[in-house]
Structure 1
């Protein structure tokens, strides 16, 4: 009986911690087939709904409201930026968003610069002004080995070399 109680307590505490974990995962893909830099941002749907409620000050419905979904996608676009190693901005274009199970995806892209990049500077501050514990993990793929960087309130910009 004590084992069942302990296991149940662990299960419920893990579930509540997971619910409170504020995080996102982004993939930055250098797609040699399309010659684009593609960004795919994955957020927990539950977090996006709470975020929109804070941002616009009204009840949100991220499952059914295209307007709420668009507002969140625009919000992400305002909080993500990439630059060349020489600090030249690379203009990202919003290309879409979707609900996929318990996740909300935001998609952006930019043409690859004419000159091959030796690295990339990036900022990803989405949701960090709402939740100080928000961590945005970014995987950079398609330029050799995968590189991973983490953005939190103390780390607003990262530079990655290829």
Structure 2
């Protein structure tokens, strides 16, 4: 429930950006991932936002040699959307308190001009939430790709920025 409310707020804040990119018809070459702790569920929730136009162009590029991708239609083809969501989860590396974590895939959906991919993992019951992340989503497609990772939500957010080949970065996730 809190994830959906947070998603709606995020979508409202970012809607002008998504609409502008779609209207112009070119790649934005930017993704935004948000990592937040949900104290009610005890989970760390990860939301990746990728412009649909960028995702579809990436599918065309990646289609050669990838049997998972049948057609580059994120909106009309659930298979394409799920194939791209799997790609997103593979290109996002995540460590929690020094341990490599593979967050569970929760699902994906289209909101406005963006594809949202959801993941989650249990948070330790106590102690710090020290994260080490690296977002390389679409950096294998475009050299100028920029990926922003927001740690936290509300007024307590730190942003990490990644480009192709960047090393992982660390930050604390507020509880």
TM-score range, shorter chain: 0.7 to 0.9
Query: Are residues 1:46 and 2:46 paired?
Result: no
> Counterpart of 1:19 in 2: which secondary structure?
coil
State the shift of 1:61 in Å: 1.0
Distance of aligned partners of 1:145 and 1:90 in 2 relative to their CA distance in 1, 3 Å threshold:
same
Cα deviations by residue, 1:46-84 (Å, 9 ceiling, x for unpaired): 000011122223641111100000000000111112112
Q: TM-score, normalised by structure 1?
A: 0.81
2:77 equivalent among 65, 77, 83: 65
1:25 equivalent among 4, 25, 32: 32
RMSD between superposed Cα atoms in Å: 2.4
8 A contact 1:84–1:117 mirrored in 2: no
- Report the number of matched residues: 148
- Residue of structure 2 in register with 1:82 after alignment: 94
Cα deviations by residue, 1:75-113 (Å, 9 ceiling, x for unpaired): 01111121124x311220100001112111100000002
8 A contact 1:36–1:110 mirrored in 2: yes
Q: Structure 2 stretches of 5 or more lacking a match?
A: 1-20, 65-69
2:102 equivalent among 67, 91, 102: 91
Q: Structure 1 stretches of 5 or more lacking a match?
A: 1-13
The structure with the largest alpha-carbon Rg is 1
Cα deviations by residue, 1:97-151 (Å, 9 ceiling, x for unpaired): 0111211110000000244225210011010011011101111115982111101
Distance (Å, rounded) in 2 between the aligned partners of 1:107 and 1:155: 23
Using the TM superposition, name which of 20-29 and 111-120 deviates more.
111-120
